[in-house]
A and B are shown apart, each in its own frame.
Chain A
Amino acid sequence: MQIDETHRTWAVWTAALLAAAAIAFILCWIFYRREPAGGTIPGIVFGFAGYGLMAYAFLLYARKKYPTQSRIWQKRSLRWLNKGAVQTWMRGHIWLGALSYAFILFHSRGLRFGNAFTVTWVLMWSFTFVVVTGLLVAVLQTVMPRFMTVSLPMESIYNDIRVVRKKLLREANELLRPFSEKGRRESVPVLARGATAVTVTTVVSEAEADKLWNTYQGKIKPYLKLRDAFRPELSSSRTAEDVFTRLREGMPERIRPVIDKLEEICREKRDLDRQVTLHWVLHGWLLVHIPLAALVIILGAVHAIMSIHYLS
């Protein structure tokens, strides 16, 4: 979600709540003459408030997973969860999620995460990581969509990319078939947009046909086949241009459309690869954010139960 001026109300309320919590914390500090620990009443209140907000923030996952009147929402106990627009839930997720971290900090008297590898330590570090990834995702969601719109003019549907890549490879194979040994033997006509249908042998010499075919087999085809291409030569537009300039050298004019088309296919493949990368940058963080958030919820519950048990 893009964080813009429409978030002002949420930001103001969050700041107000944070200020109120901070004042309460300071007052308690004055009253107890030391920082209120997690086991004191104010500490417990902060802990529960923080955990409540964390749990609310986590519920966005369920709200997004089943966005409409799915069967899950038919249950009376869960029907309340389907109330309100997802956009409102998302705003709450961002701002109240951030506020929960402040509450938990008040609960734990600042950045005191306890002894290493204890439940509290794991919990606090996980929670910190959840908040940091969350903030990072928020920033990325503000910046990346516009960047993607500008840099990917031929954007495809993400789930279709695999199919489009296969189609590109098929197209390239078909385009270069006349240059293969079998194609030359059978005099398969060269078909390219703008080019007249001619057989390879009538247009290029054996050596030129070999050059094109070998470059295709050695560089282009493996690149088109690769799912995540990191081959420097064709995955960068500058080096790819060099490859095709070299390929064009000495080639007759009538065969140029074939090379142009091949270059276009590589360009499209490069765009698709870039789209995949950007998609992962944008959404990959959720693979860390969501499981860690689930861990935090579980560990938070364990921590609360254990603490109350030992407190009593």
Chain B
Amino acid sequence: MSEIAAHASKVTLKINNRQIEATSGQTIFEAALANSIDIPILCHNPAIDPPVGVCRICVVEVTDGKTGKKDRAFSAACVRKVDEGLIVETQTPDVKKARHTLVQLLMADHPHNCRDKAHQEACELERLLKDFQIAPELPTLPHEKPRNQDPSAPSILVNHAACILCDRCVRACAEKTYHIIARHGKGYDAGIAFGLGEPMHTSHCVSCGACVDACPTGAITPAHDHYGVEELVPRRGDGIARPDYVSHKKNLRDRINNGEGRICHIKDLHEFDIFRHVSVKFLDQNPGCVFRRPLKKGEILFREGERAETAFYIIKDEHDPYPEETRVKLLTENPIPFGPGELVGDMSCMNLYPHTATAEVVFDCEVLEMTRNMLDLARNSMATGEYEKKYGRRALEFQLRCNTKNKENCSGVFSTLSPEFIKYLEDRITLVRCGPGQTIVQKGDEAKAFYFISFGFVKVVHPYVGGEFVVASLSPGSYFGEMELLKGITEEKKYLYTCKTVHHADLLRIEADDFELMMDKFPKIREQLVKEAKEHLEKNKKFQERAQFEVKHDPETGLEEAYSMLVLDLDKCTRCDQCVVACAETHDYNRLVRDGKTVDHYLIASACRHCHDPLCMVCHWNAIQRNPESLAVTIDPEKCVGCGQCALGCPYGNIKLFDKIHNLVSFSKFEAGINTIDLEAKATSCDLCPGYSVPNCVRACPHEAAERYSAAAFNKKREDEKQKLEQRHNKKSFWSKWFAN
């Protein structure tokens, strides 16, 4: 429904010579619908707001009743608001002709028999073709470059050729607050894109199915029509939705033949607590995404470093004689137990992160292995349920007792809390679930709470005019907000930084009063936190001083994210590769490739740009952080376990992995899901050569061709150069002046 003013007045209008009454603010379509007058629609769906009027199928002829003047052009009924005395005609020959032409044009660029026979009935465009009695033998547009299909997602098939750019999926996705789907491209290349135009499976799409529901054609459809239910069963640890369907099928068959488990059908799913509240419609759209597996004691569910693409729900049985018994253990320093009715590996799966620990089965049980889309459905449906409370309590206990591998972040500060106080907190904490890029606290806002990060990553952001500079990335186990709440640290109780989530994150919120009570009761904890806070403040001061930028968006280069990029002046560079030699000599491994994007006569070499918002800074082992001195994004080889998450995150491919025998690990290999932790690989990237006044790549260049620039400095240099050239061009030489005289 469109937005209607609270005290809307009534208006009278005529539709097809019928006097009707409508509320001001309503659209013509809504008024017609309320009076059972049929206006065909395509891009509009009353269930999806707002109407956009892009397809123009709902065109109507509008005449102003007062002046008797017809509108210059037909109006789209889905967006045109009603007005007093309007005369609307929905079925004149001209209107019909316009609609017919529009349908014909859309069909000319649309595959006939939209996807398959079964779906033909569901395609609203083809239905219109039938309703308008237009001959199906239509001329088609010549397709020099056919639009492709995206079969990467396990449950949804995207056929870009069938897309009519109605934006229904975009609006449906936005309505679900995911904002994953958007328009991209121009002209014939225009289409919808997931994330940054990546395959659907690798984007942050959770496959909720809202777009499938919304799509009027066969552009976004459930994949099971095409691949068959059985082929959708997930493969553990090896990805579930890659285009290599041959190996996928083989793997699936092997798993079923080996008796690993069986597909869990939709009707069975509703028997489990976890799926009880999930809509049947959504479950219908995602068949075969849950695999029921019996597990034996000693079996490894997943291993540390494996890319998590499925999560596990330990089945709770009413007749279980040992309902409280631990079924699965996460093998960290202090093993974390999971019992019936709990999810294991869920946050890693949600964010497609590698698992941070190995999970071992300690008691025979059964699990539901589910894909990311099903996990999301389950999590959303359980958001206020018992699971949420249980999850929050466990997370709190885990955080406070510091059962984390990440000793540095979770330094055991809260390990001295008494069990009574933890119990007290358990009833007081709030579990905050955040989506990607969500702001948790804003710099300058009043500090009201203290947060623990249970899962996911939080970036600490220093905002500047026109952008944001990420000063740190907080991994699970870290906390923030304590500096502002501790007495005597800051003058005002205001947040010093903005904190945002990177991907999906779960946080535990402790209110300011409870935090103060904790500090009063446990002075040792307070002492420790004050000490840490002072260190943080010192760092903060350095960041405040250094992270001052004036960056303008430059669509030509798109380099505004770079804090320090290696720029080679190709007019000076003799291609001697001294920079590469120097890099290899300094770090044992070469961290730069003399290739990359070219801007004017400058080459932006493939070496870390130390971005303002580094997408690579998502490390469970806290190995990748920003250096407060140089502001460089550096990888600590001691902490790095070689999972490759940072390398996958870097959009410029500037992070490389080397295995234990110093061989470069092929990017395609670890992208395909091999466990690089087994290779004992280490991630490497430029660290701006700490200990040297100038990075060695720059220092070693004999031709003064290599230089490190921030985006702003680089743009300024280019502008200065252009100005100089213009001046030189405008300045008349001695001889030209002499001849002119």
Beyond A67-B578, A157-B595, whether A146 also contacts B601 by CB under 8 A is yes
Chain B binder among A82-90, A177-185, A258-266: A82-90
Beta-carbon contacts of A57-83 to B below 8 Å, as 1s and 0s? 000100010111110000000000000
Which residue from chain B places its CB closest to the CB of A159 in the assembled complex?
B577
Partner of A194, one of B144, B578, B701: B144
Q: Are A2 and B572 in contact (CB under 8 A)?
A: yes
Beyond A86-B699, A146-B601, A149-B601, whether A67 also contacts B574 by CB under 8 A is no
Q: Are B571 and A146 in contact (CB under 8 A)?
A: yes
- Residues 560-603 (chain B) with a chain A CB within 8 angstroms: 570-578, 581-582, 585-586, 593-595, 601
Q: Are A68 and B578 in contact (CB under 8 A)?
A: no
Q: Which residues of B contact A66 (CB under 8 A)?
A: 585
Which positions in B face A, CB cutoff 8 Å?
144-145, 570-578, 581-582, 585-586, 593-595, 601, 692, 694, 696, 699-705
Q: Are A1 and B704 in contact (CB under 8 A)?
A: yes
Beta-carbon contacts of A142-169 to B below 8 Å, as 1s and 0s? 0011101100000011110000000000
Q: Which residues of A contact B703 (CB under 8 A)?
A: 1-2, 87, 90, 141, 145
Q: Which residues of A contact B570 (CB under 8 A)?
A: 145-146, 148-149
> 4 tightest CB-CB pairs across the interface, nearest first?
A67-B700, A90-B702, A67-B582, A149-B570
Could you tell me the distance between the alpha carbons of A198 and B100 in the complex, rounded to whole angstroms?
36
User: What is the minimal beta-carbon distance from B379 to any residue of chain A, in angstroms?
Assistant: 44
A283 at the interface (CB under 8 A from B): yes
Q: Are A67 and B575 in contact (CB under 8 A)?
A: no
Could you list 15 examples of A-B contacts with CB < 8 Å?
A: A1-B703, A1-B704, A6-B704, A67-B582, A67-B699, A68-B585, A69-B586, A70-B585, A87-B702, A145-B572, A146-B601, A158-B577, A159-B577, A194-B145, A283-B574
User: What is the minimal beta-carbon distance from B607 to any residue of chain A, in angstroms?
Assistant: 14
Q: Are B601 and A279 in contact (CB under 8 A)?
A: no
User: What is the minimal beta-carbon distance from A224 to any residue of chain B, in angstroms?
Assistant: 23
Partner of B696, one of A2, A67, A156: A67
Q: Which residues of A contact B575 (CB under 8 A)?
A: 145, 148, 158, 279, 282
Q: Say whether chain B's binding surface is mostly helix, strand, loop, or mixed.
A: loop
Q: Which residues of B contact A2 (CB under 8 A)?
A: 571-572, 703-704
Partner of B700, one of A1, A86, A144: A86
Could you tell me the distance between the alpha carbons of A157 and B590 in the complex, rounded to whole angstroms?
15
Beyond A145-B574, A279-B575, whether A1 also contacts B601 by CB under 8 A is no
Could you tell me the distance between the alpha carbons of A64 and B578 in the complex, rounded to whole angstroms?
7
Could you tell me the distance between the alpha carbons of A94 and B570 in the complex, rounded to whole angstroms?
21
Q: Which residues of A contact B692 (CB under 8 A)?
A: 69
Which residue from chain B places its CB closest to the CB of A85 in the assembled complex?
B699
Could you tell me the distance between the alpha carbons of A255 and B104 in the complex, rounded to whole angstroms?
32
With A85-B699, A86-B701, A158-B575 given, name 18 new contacts (CB 8 A): A1-B702, A1-B703, A1-B704, A2-B704, A67-B578, A67-B581, A67-B696, A68-B582, A85-B694, A86-B702, A87-B702, A90-B703, A145-B573, A145-B574, A156-B595, A157-B595, A159-B577, A283-B574
Q: Which residues of B contact A6 (CB under 8 A)?
A: 704
Could you tell me the distance between the alpha carbons of A292 and B145 in the complex, rounded to whole angstroms?
58
User: What is the minimal beta-carbon distance from B438 to any residue of chain A, in angstroms?
Assistant: 42
Q: Which residues of B contact A156 (CB under 8 A)?
A: 595
Which residue from chain A places its CB closest to the CB of B576 in the assembled complex?
A283
Q: Are A89 and B702 in contact (CB under 8 A)?
A: yes
Could you tell me the distance between the alpha carbons of A145 and B699 in the complex, rounded to whole angstroms?
20
- Residues 231-274 (chain A) with a chain B CB within 8 angstroms: none
Q: Which residues of B contact A89 (CB under 8 A)?
A: 702
Q: Are B696 and A68 in contact (CB under 8 A)?
A: yes
Which residue from chain A places its CB closest to the CB of B702 in the assembled complex?
A90
- Residues 280-307 (chain A) with a chain B CB within 8 angstroms: 282-283
Which residue from chain A places its CB closest to the CB of B593 in the assembled complex?
A157
Q: Which residues of B contact A60 (CB under 8 A)?
A: 702
